[in-house]
Structure 1
Amino acid sequence: MRHERISSLFQQGDRRISACLRRAVAAIAPHAPAKACDDFVQMIMVLLLGLPQRHLAVPNTDLAAVSASLSALIDRELDRLTQLSAA
């Protein structure tokens, strides 16, 4: 029962965060293909969930450096979506 409740909380959080990200992406790149936007949102979700796991597995991970790299990746992909939207 407890695991079901925890799972439900994670799923609710995932849906809410994904919905917020989708709205933000739609505002930034309104004419980008829906699949590209959905893929971008999924990429962000995976990156966000993976960062804490990486830190737990390797505590001496330089989170600032990793975060900077991930931010650069997200910026590049967002630029790509913006270009798709403008096309």
Structure 2
Amino acid sequence: MNTVPEWLENLDDEDISFIKKFILSSGSLKEVATLYGVTYPTVRLRLDRLIQKIKINEDKTDDPYISLIKQLALQDKLDFDTAKVLISEYRNTKKEVE
């Protein structure tokens, strides 16, 4: 029985398509840029954003507030840098209380 990793499950179809094109082009961002008809920096930015999505998904927590912040970031309702700051500050506040 094959199970899909959670980080992959939480990516949208467009992200998965990007990953497929990236792999099929042997990791060449220049080739991916050509496939999409965009510039190299645009593809680099897209890859960086995808990396952030995967990283934020990897950080496991049972805390509902942190889960909410992550979901907002994954749904593009909150940028990743802001999400990281909110999560970090929340964790620091919780440590001070404990």
**TM-score category of the 2 structures, normalised to the smaller one:** 0.3 to 0.5
The structure where helix makes up a greater share of residues is 1
Greater relative CO, 1 or 2 (CA 8 Å, sep 6+): 1
TM (normalized to structure 1)? 0.36
Whichever of the two has the greater Rg, that structure is 2
TM-score, normalized by length of structure 2?
0.34
